[in-house]
Structure 1
Amino acid sequence: MSAAETALDGPSQVSQAGLDPLRSEARDVSGPIVLLLAGLAAIGTLATNIILPAFPRMAAELGLTGTQLGILLSSFFLTFALGQLIVGPLSDRFGRRALVLGGLATFLAGSIIAAQADNLLWLVLGRVVQAMGACAASVLARAIARDLFQGETLGRVLSLTMIAGAVAPGFSPLLGSVLVDLSGWRVSFLFVALCAAALALLYMRRVGETHPVEARSTLALGSVAATYRFLLVDGRFLLPALSVSMVLGGLFSFFAAAPGILMGQLGLTPLQMGLSFAATVLIVFAAGLLAPRLARRHGDRTTGLAGLIVFAAGALAMIAVASQPSYLTFTAALSIVLFGMGLINPLGTAIALQPFGRQAGSASALLGFLQMGSAAIGSTLASTMPFSPSVSLAIVMMATSVGAFAVFYPVYRDPPRR
């Protein structure tokens, strides 16, 4: 059998070859597992959002421009995107444990480098090392979920993970503003280093290895390339993955534009910006709780499409208020965007990963690459377009909503035959 055929046939073969005891619809979805998966998935976003309120003080202390501060975001996203393509196949070959613990250790080291930086070069280096570790955590959060769960349960776990994971990026700007006011911007990097250490301890105590030896794939370059190639041409993966990635690209463009809009245009203090971010957690909570229930009643594809329609409605609202935003109008439009994103993100992710059991690590890695690639593009555009931050963000949001709907609609129209 060729490498290409192996890549295509692997999921069905493995599901019949001994993984069913691990992946059960009835498997207990415990709090510690959800907490771990949420922490692994959110550690990269936490490390990004917690420093947003510190940008003005970083700029003043290190003599940085707005464009240079943008490099802290784009360099992180680019490294994050590329690193996942390496981590995924490694975890499929050698298991999850070594990659999880190694990634968290790398993230911790990068956080310490950034905390001690006294110029842009060392700060960017620390962020790049952070991203190398965070990409492993993010890839393996999805892969571990796919190792342990399947079907409707997988969608529910990803929804719960998204809900719990939203707490970290939602409240991190508020926490970051408090830390900046009390101790300066460097302590934010030390805080996320402690979070990585706590996640490593939780992983070792409660989960451990989830990818058994008999289920592991080869690491030959041809086999890895074949896996990625056939994932990229398989519409079951590519279409929902692209849709979710575009939505995430829009979200990260908001992260990049938020300081300019909330503090620059609307005059909020760092603490007020942090409170504003924290309020958005409630929206993500609501969407995350509704997503699996709506999917159970109406189907995952129908619910996902509804989420994209809501996302597009929020983008249109952003376009309408972009020229003269107020805090109320901007927040209202953003709330609609976040609610739609909260519906499509876990369901689209589950749809993309569900058919690929043996290649869960590689599929998760490729999905993460597409997501972080979109995040890098979205954040760069939002930071560099020759318009006000609110107008730039509205343009990026509208473009991502149209693109995400266009690639997901065929998934909705052509569900898989059971």
Structure 2
Amino acid sequence: MSRPFLVMFTGLLLALNAFSCDITLPAFWSMEKSLGAPIEHVQAVIPVFLFCSAIGQLVFGPASDAYGRKPVILTGVALYITGALIAAAADTLTVALYGRALQGFGSACGAVIARALLRDVHSGPELARTMAFASSVIALGPIIAPLVGYGLVVIGEWRGVFVGMAIYGAGLATMTLMRLQETNKSPDRGAIAPVRLANAIGRVFANRQSRYFVLLSGINSFAILSYVTNAPRLYKSAFGIEGLAFTALFAATGAGIIAGQYINARLISRLGVMAATRSSALVLAATAITIALLSHLGVISLLMFAALMLIYNAAFLVVMSNAVSLVIDPHREIAGVASSTIGFVSQLASSLLVFATLPLFHGRLLPWSLGMVVVTVIVAAAIMAYRPRTEH
């Protein structure tokens, strides 16, 4: 199995959640009209998906340690496809959300096993660099997914979006069957025993570095999930932008993720993982403060906001990618559990925070940007305060 294939395949797995969220954004207004549901309820298709994905990560990570990576990927993808088809056939938002929940649970196999695959074959700075390159595939999600979603809405309204996700899942299953080699050479069937699982999770939290960045990832993930969930309403309420114009601008800001991942790889090579993470956390907080200040003064324009969000996306991905590698690096023998733990905490915390803050923001730019200032300043301060044991 070649390294280019491994990077591409793990990148597609890592992108599964982001793709499955971003592709639905152009469908919000179509779902509102077709299903007769308030837009605030339609927005729940994103946090419901991620909440169930968080729970699934506690299952798929240990299962991949016990039975191998390949069979668990295939199981998860099968659930993902089934959930997408249920949502596509739904005649009420409730049924669509049930399908979305199953889809989210199945999608958990993506990120958790992608991280474990990389940890099976890499460690240390090489793990961080490979994670950065694999994560660069994620960048295609925010760029391509909204455009694909808009095209599918034009062709088949909102139902076409869910059919498109089922096709994505079928492609992953085909690649797994035909190209992926098993990287878990010593499956441990006892890994899924409740006591063993609890002990393994305890080992992750017992490690100072892993514990610190697991908890931090939950706060940091909210910084981007809140933007994605609120984006259609933010652009419409603040700038009067919707439809294709919104889709194109949202996709354009996703280019920051591509830039961020390549910058991250260079920063890691020159400065190390922690220095790259610290500098990016400061940029993330500074960008959020700038957006809030310009919004408060009433001088922020559409292009200014899009440019700042491009920087915001780049900084977020650098921080998150490195946080993941810092969590799982000390745990090669339980890479699946370590990956599950960070996925569970980050997605559970961020999805619950999004649910809690939707009524507060109401799709308005200033309240949303002030919320992001609070979150990003906390993240930056925590990262700046952290000192690895080897630093003096």
Shorter-chain TM-score bucket reads over 0.9
Q: In 1, Cα distance between the equivalents of 2:293 and 2:304?
A: 9
* Paired amino acid for 2:348: G
Aligned residue in 1 for 2:365 = 390
Separation in structure 2 between the aligned mates of residue 316 and residue 415 of structure 1, nearest angstrom: 31
Question: Superposition pairs for residues 336-415 of structure 1, below 5 Å?
Answer: 336-385=311-360, 388-411=363-386, 413-415=387-389
Say if 2:68 and 2:187, in contact at 8 Å, map to a contact too.
Answer: no
Residue by residue over 1:362-389, the C-alpha shift from the partner in whole angstroms, topping out at 9 and shown as x without a partner, is 0000100122123203422442215552
Contact preservation (8 Å) 2:54, 2:345: yes
Partner SS state of residue 3, structure 2 = coil
Counterpart Cα distance in 2 of 1:110 and 1:364: 23
Counterpart position of 2:232: 259
Partner of residue 11 from structure 2, selected from 38, 43, 49: 38
Number of equivalenced pairs: 389
Q: Is the 8 A contact 2:132 2:262 kept in 1?
A: yes
Task: Provide the rounded CA distance (Å) in 2 between the counterparts of 1:290 and 1:44.
Answer: 23
Query: After superposition, where does 1:241-252 map in structure 2 within 5 Å?
Result: 241-252=214-225
Picking from 289, 303, 325, the partner of 1:328 is 303
Between 357-366 and 232-241, report the one with greater CA deviation: 232-241
Using the alignment, how far apart are the partners of 1:388 and 1:303 within structure 2?
Answer: 32
CA distance in 2 between partners of 1:399 and 1:64 (Å): 31
Residue 218, structure 1, aligned to residue 191, structure 2? yes
Q: Distance in 1 between matches of 2:189 and 2:279?
A: 37
- Tell me the equivalent position of 2:3: 29
- One-letter amino acid of the structure 2 residue matched with residue 128 of structure 1: A
- In structure 2, the partner of 1:314 is 287
RMSD: 1.9
The alignment status of 1:197 with 2:157, answered yes or no, reads no
1:386-415 CA-to-partner distances (Å, cap 9, x unmatched) read 55521232133112212222332343x234
Letter of the structure 1 residue corresponding to residue 111 of structure 2: S
2:22–2:142 contact (8 Å) kept in structure 1: yes
Identical residues among aligned pairs (%): 26
Question: Residue 117 of structure 1 corresponds to which residue in structure 2?
Answer: 90
- Counterpart selection for 1:157 from 130, 138, 141: 130
123-132 or 267-276, which deviates more = 267-276
2-structure distance, mates of 1:220, 1:126: 29
Distance 1:381 1:314, change over 3 A: farther
Q: Would the alpha carbon gap of residues 174 and 195 (structure 1) be closer, same or farther in structure 2, given more than 3 Å must change?
A: same
Q: 2:155 aligns with which of 170, 173, 182?
A: 182
Structure 1 pair 396–217 and aligned structure 2 pair: CA distance change class (3 A): farther
Q: 1:239 is matched with which residue: 212, 234, 237?
A: 212
Q: Aligned partners of 1:214 and 1:339: how far apart in 2? A: 36
Native 8 Å contact 2:132 2:321 kept in 1: yes
Decide whether the 8 Å contact of 1:108 with 1:196 is kept in 2.
Answer: yes
Q: Secondary structure at the match of 1:210?
A: coil
Question: Which residue is equivalent to 2:46?
Answer: 73
Determine the structure 1 residue equivalent to 2:102.
129
**Structure 1 runs not aligned, ≥5 long:** 1-26
How far off is 1:220 after superposition? 2.2
1:62 aligns with 2:35: yes
CA–CA distance in 2 between the matches of 1:220 and 1:307? 39
> How far apart in 2 are the matches of 1:386 and 1:202?
41
In the TM superposition, residue 217 of structure 1 has moved relative to its aligned partner by 5.3
Mean Cα deviation higher: 358-367 or 239-248: 239-248
SS in 2 for 1:184: helix
Bigger drift between 211-220 and 290-299 goes to 211-220
Q: Alpha-carbon deviation of 1:236?
A: 1.4
Whether contact under 8 Å (1:180, 1:188) holds in the other structure is yes
Task: State the alpha-carbon separation in 2 of the partners of residues 214 and 338 from structure 1.
Answer: 37
Gaps of 5+ in 2: none
- Report the 3-state secondary structure (helix = DSSP H, G, I; strand = E; otherwise coil) of the residue aligned with 1:78: helix
1:65-97 Cα offsets, whole Å, 9 max, x none, are: 022113222221211111111221111112111
Q: C-alpha separation between the residues in 2 aligned to 1:209 and 1:107?
A: 21
The two structures have a TM-score, normalised by structure 1, of 0.88
Task: Give the letter aligned to residue 43 of structure 1.
Answer: L
Question: Once the 2 structures are TM-superposed, how far is the Cα of residue 216 of structure 1 from its aligned partner?
Answer: 6.5
| Counterpart for residue 105 of structure 1 | 78
> Is the contact made by 1:249 and 1:377 (CA closer than 8 Å) also made in structure 2?
no
Q: Distance in 2 between matches of 1:216 and 1:352?
A: 24
Equivalents in 1 of 2:362, 2:167: separation in Å? Answer: 38
Paired residue type of 1:136: C
Contact 2:19 2:145 in 1 (8 A): yes
| Equivalent pair of 2:57/2:112 in contact (CA under 8 Å) | yes
2:61 to 88, 93, 97: 88
Q: 1:141 is matched with which residue?
A: 114
Paired letter, 1:347: N
Q: Distance in 2 between matches of 1:218 and 1:364?
A: 14
Structure 2 CA distance for aligned equivalents of residues 388 and 239 of structure 1: 32
Q: Distance in 1 between matches of 2:240 and 2:357?
A: 19
Q: Give the counterpart letter for 1:357 in structure 2.
A: R
1:276-319 per-residue CA deviation (whole Å, 9 max, x = no partner) reads 12212322111111112111111110111001000001110121
Which deviates more from structure 2 when the two are superposed, residues 277-286 or residues 56-65?
Answer: 277-286
